[in-house]
Structure 1
Amino acid sequence: MAQPTGIHARRAALRLLDAVFRRGETLDVAFGAATKDVRKFEDKALARAIASEVLRWMVDLDVLIDSATKKPLPADAKARTVLRMMLAQWLRLDTPPHAVIATCLPLLAGGPRRLAHGVFSTLTKRDIALPEAPTLPADVAERWGDRSAAIAQGLAEPPPLDLTLKDPSQTEVWKAKLAADSLMPGHLRLARGENIEKLPGFAEGEWWVQDIAASLPARLLGEGEGRHVLDLCAAPGGKSLQLAAQGWQVTSLDISKRRLDLLRANFKRVGLKASPLRADALTWEPKHRFDAILLDAPCTATGTARRHPDVLHRIGARQIEEMAELQAALLERASGWLKPGGVLVYATCSLEREEGEARLAHSKLDLVPVSQDELPEGIAPGADGTLRTDPGMMAENGGIDGFFIARLAFRG
């Protein structure tokens, strides 16, 4: 019997969710294996979209499911996961109910298909809707405190596509070529869903994909004028590309061979130069000191929840504590590698204070305040001169990832 069209994408989405829930994997890590038997680009994208919408709205989807069952399904039951997928497609991706049923019920072959069919049919007959913003898991809302409501508003939709230009002076030219918006020189914003490699300028290396928030740390180091900068934990290379384009001589250090290979490929495509170096920053010793260091430290990445909603369900106190310890060690070591007068930008794409503000408490470096004229309109530095962004900001312009950024100097 022939399988219904679209079932491969749904099966891949189920694999993605299983990887997140059972193995704690990120969507990015799980994606290759989960979609290995899906041939079309569009079907791979659909699998990712289904899984992402389930993770984005899971608390609210579970409330709906529980309202239509006499006895709650176990949290890890396959039937609950499939029902989440069915509701996400209907309520978020505008898939007709008959198509949802045809492509999702076969995932429960040999299981409670009748139950899932009954629950979904019951809900489609009701006047139901998801709230304007997703409900955050209780532990996440508690961590983010009074910022939670605004951040949740910023998570309601997947983000647009941000590009960083190699030559910021060409912003208006590329804005016209790509029919894009721009929030500051060197930045472009397009609607999501584009096939990146087919866009004008990709093959020629005129730009690379990078959320505008992720572009701010390198911007805060300014023009290099041939001076030496160390990009720690550099791969896959977006910030190294920025620094090279800003005139720095870049040493790009990372522990991962695979990720450094990506960095090299990105530099080859864009036509810029850097010195990639594979090493563990916790044991490596430089041969000379640097004029500047960019430490975009490994972190829980909760600030990327707009595009990686798996972080809402994978990250807890243990992961935050582990990352904070690593960040403290990296910051301490990197602080000793600056020339007198050198500048270090510390950044994490995390919404957790333990990975941001708390890391500066024991720093031996002096804070160099971020100024308003260095930032896009709608983003302001904190009273202490550091910068914190979150997905609730700039919502009218498509939002922004969550980052903590501090610029520090070694006075010597």
Structure 2
Amino acid sequence: MTRPDDPPGTPARRAAMRLLDAVLRKGLPLEAAMASATADLDRGDDRGFAHAIAAETLRRLPDLDALIDSATPKPMPEDAKPRFALRIALVQALALGTPAHAAIATVLPLVDGGPRRLVHGVFGTLIRRGDRLPDPPHLPVAVGIRWTRAWGDAAADAARHGIAQPAPIDLTLKTDDPALIAELGGASLAPRHVRVPAGTAVEDLPGYAEGRWWVQDIAASLPARLIGAGTGTAIELCAAPGGKTMQLATAGWSTTAIDLSRSRLGRLMENMDRIGAKATMVVANAAVWIPDAAADVVLLDAPCSATGIFRRHPEVLHRARPRVIKELAGQQAHLLAHAATMVKPGGLLVYAVCSLEPVEGEEIARAFDLPDFAVEAVRADELPTGFAPDAEGFLRVVPGTLAEAGGADGFFVARFRRAA
């Protein structure tokens, strides 16, 4: 709530604190917390700034906390309000270009009494010392250890560079249209693909109103690319937000999209209407849903830790704790086994996750051993330049992929064929 004695700009900082509390203490996604946290902000600019403060804080959280701890006699609790206030003040002054006096003046009203003096003192000490944030930012310690162990030093270092700046925006085109590609003016890294700079107002781009493309990271487009065009039946499980459903439908498949969220399926239906494509929408729990008939293709876009989308959603690095990852991996194993029952003899089963955790990707695929299914190895000639299958025939996209072109989300894809 805005208070009469707040300096101008304080309400946006208070909203940023609510956002950070929702993510770090309550475990909510940043976007899911936006409506509630910014409800008392009247201006879109203020809402955008609150989001920018929170997102940049989450990108740089380990380094902000290291600075704060270097200037206090003993570490403050992780969820202490003075720590939150200092994170917000420091990220403005050291990363977002806010003058130091404005950064601290608009944050001090967020704390009272002795903590206010502590925040003012620590902030002043760090600014006078001339401390800076490292570039690129450090990953959370546990994440850095996991990813170094799984993918090596180069990938972990690439992840640090990847989180340092907003990711570019990828568009998947409804058809392979060279004229539209030229009109959009970005880089085309694959058939039916255009990449435009981060921050582009996509609604203003050519072809948006006419439904000639949709936003979808190039890595997220790979599972449906590995299915290709067809005229049979396709089921996508856990389909929302729906980019893969749109790919399947525009590639000729008679597609059914299953998701537990009615509102997310509603947004998918709106997007399908915008691009002039059709699919059957079913609100159901994919873990127990049974189709009327088996399908030629089943694509399981499994719920996961989503650590692969950390460039756009830095909060995943702080929300995806080992216990959560383990629980999600167990769900994926069950979903994959259930999805297999929906595949026709001779049909295709594709399992995909936007995760950088091997326990959610490789380990699930290796453990899938139904007798009438076999890995259908991904081939290099099926993939856009810059992507490659691994020795087991799976596709793993790690940090550093397409680095010179702006990078790609972390992803895993496995493809299985059922015996005829």
Match status 1:273 vs 2:278: yes
Of 21-30 and 387-396, the range deviating more from structure 2: 387-396
Match status 1:192 vs 2:198: yes
* Residues 143 and 124 (structure 1), Cα distance of their counterparts in 2 relative to 1, 3 Å cut: same
- Selected match of 1:289 from 294, 319, 342: 294
User: How far did 1:109 drift?
Assistant: 4.3
Partner of 1:370: 378
Contiguous gaps of at least 5 residues in structure 1 = none
Partner of 1:408: 416
- Selected match of 2:68 from 61, 65, 69: 65
1:212 partner SS: coil
Match status 1:234 vs 2:239: yes
User: How far did 1:107 drift?
Assistant: 1.8
Amino acid at match of 1:398: G
1:347-362 equivalences in 2 (<5 Å)? 347-362=352-367
- Selected match of 2:264 from 253, 259, 275: 259
User: How far did 1:31 drift?
Assistant: 1.4
User: How far did 1:2 drift?
Assistant: 5.7
1:10-409 equivalences in 2 (<5 Å)? 10-110=13-113, 112-144=115-147, 145=149, 146=152, 147-167=155-175, 169-170=176-177, 172-224=178-230, 226-363=231-368, 364=370, 365-409=373-417
Alpha-carbon displacement from aligned partner over 1:341-400 (angstroms, at most 9, x marks no partner): 211111001111111011122322211121222222222211221111123322221111
Of 68-77 and 320-329, the range deviating more from structure 2: 68-77
Of 202-211 and 247-256, the range deviating more from structure 2: 202-211
Amino acid at match of 2:94: L
* Residues 18 and 131 (structure 1), Cα distance of their counterparts in 2 relative to 1, 3 Å cut: same
User: How far did 1:199 drift?
Assistant: 3.3
CA distance in 2 between partners of 1:95 and 1:370 (Å): 48
- Aligned positions, number: 409
CA distance in 1 between partners of 2:156 and 2:167 (Å): 18
CA distance in 2 between partners of 1:260 and 1:291 (Å): 22
* Residues 10 and 195 (structure 1), Cα distance of their counterparts in 2 relative to 1, 3 Å cut: farther
* Residues 408 and 151 (structure 1), Cα distance of their counterparts in 2 relative to 1, 3 Å cut: same
What's the RMSD between the two structures over aligned residues? 1.7
* Residues 189 and 2 (structure 1), Cα distance of their counterparts in 2 relative to 1, 3 Å cut: farther
CA distance in 2 between partners of 1:45 and 1:389 (Å): 31
Alpha-carbon displacement from aligned partner over 1:311-332 (angstroms, at most 9, x marks no partner): 1111112111111111111111
* Residues 37 and 199 (structure 1), Cα distance of their counterparts in 2 relative to 1, 3 Å cut: farther
Identity of aligned pairs, percent? 53
CA distance in 1 between partners of 2:24 and 2:336 (Å): 32
CA distance in 2 between partners of 1:298 and 1:57 (Å): 26
Alpha-carbon displacement from aligned partner over 1:40-80 (angstroms, at most 9, x marks no partner): 33322221221111111111111111122223222211111
Q: Say whether the 8 Å CA contact 2:156–2:399 is kept in structure 1.
A: no
